[in-house]
Amino acid sequence: MAGNWKMNLNHFEAIAHVQKIAYALNDKDFAAVEVAVLAPFTDLRSIQTLVDGDKFKIKYGAQDVSQHESGAYTGEISAAMLAKLKCDYVIVGHSERREYHGESDAEVAAKAAIALKHEISPIICFGEKLHVRQSGEHVAHCVEQLTGSIAGLTGEQLRKSVLAYEPVWAIGTGEVATPADAQEVIGASRAKLAELYDAETADAVRILYGGSVKGSNAAGIMAEKDVDGALIGGASLDPEDFVRIVRYRD
Ligand code: PEP
């Protein structure tokens, strides 16, 4: 269960927030579910200090990374910098990055590759906009976007990655895809991975659903065969609801 805080919570708020989540969860929760927070860059050093010092079992990471190793890229953050902060994960290709920063599938794939090179698992996002869903072409569109966003990754690299199907029309809108909608695209994506790689790789890679997941709907989505977890935006800012999502089995 991965919480995408987006552009929320300063580094003081981040500490309080992680503490609330970490103290609310117990060893049984952490044994059953891997929990991660994807925070703004300015929060990461504080989160690292907290997690290291208190031996919290929460994983953490960033919401974007440069596709370049280093150099004259004003404002960007490199994978090496994130690795130095012991980030476990980084989101790449979130629909908000694709929409507001014009990120292409090729850039997303380059970002995934550089994250993996620095031993950070990319959470590679893909998903259709509303007009694509309405045209009925969403499955083909998503499979094509996913294929472009993982281009060049080896099977071993893909197994270390996490994929996240996030229908754009369901992000931050309160509009949730039905469990069957999530399964349709995630199942087709896994089938495509079996074709591009092999059945073991397709089975092993974790595929999340994201889009208005809350404590009240997480169990239904998680019941689907191919859904391995969730990427949670809005509800991850509410520690109680986030903990409820982590405990979706209860
Ligand atoms: C997201 O931003 O990745 C997301 C899924 O947001 P929300 O849960 O708010 O729809």
Name the 3-class secondary structure at 210: strand
Q: What does the pLDDT read at residue 14?
A: 98
Locate the domains of the chain by residue range: 2-246
What residues does ligand 1 touch, defined as CB less than 6 Å away?
4, 6, 166, 171-172, 210-213, 231-235
Mutate to test the pocket of ligand 1, among 97, 231, 237 (most ligand atoms within 8 A of CB): 231
Q: Closest ligand 1 atom, CA of 96?
A: 2
- Residue 134: burial class (beta carbons within 10 Å; 0-12, 13-18, 19+): exposed
Q: What does the pLDDT read at residue 83?
A: 98
Q: What does the pLDDT read at residue 45?
A: 98
Which residues belong to the active site?
A: 94, 166
CA 91 to ligand 1 center in whole angstroms: 12
Q: What is the mean pLDDT of each run of 10 residues along the chain (250 residues)?
A: 98 97 95 97 97 92 98 98 98 98 98 98 97 96 98 98 97 90 98 98 98 96 98 98 97
Q: What does the pLDDT read at residue 135?
A: 95
Q: What is the CA radius of gyration of the chain?
A: 17
Q: Is the ipTM of this complex over 0.95?
A: yes
Q: Is 169 marked as binding a ligand? A: no
In sequence order, which ranges of the chain are alpha helices (DSSP H)?
11-24, 27-32, 44-54, 79-84, 95-100, 105-117, 130-135, 138-149, 155-159, 179-196, 199-204, 218-222, 239-246
Q: Which of the 8 DSSP states describes residue 71?
A: S
Q: Is 5 marked as binding a ligand? A: yes
Architecture of domain 2-246: Alpha-Beta Barrel (3.20)
CA 232 to ligand 1 center in whole angstroms: 5
pTM: 0.98
Gap between the terminal Cα atoms of the chain: 15
* 171-209: pLDDT as tens digits: 988 888 999 999 999 999 999 999 999 999 999 999 999
Q: What does the pLDDT read at residue 200?
A: 97
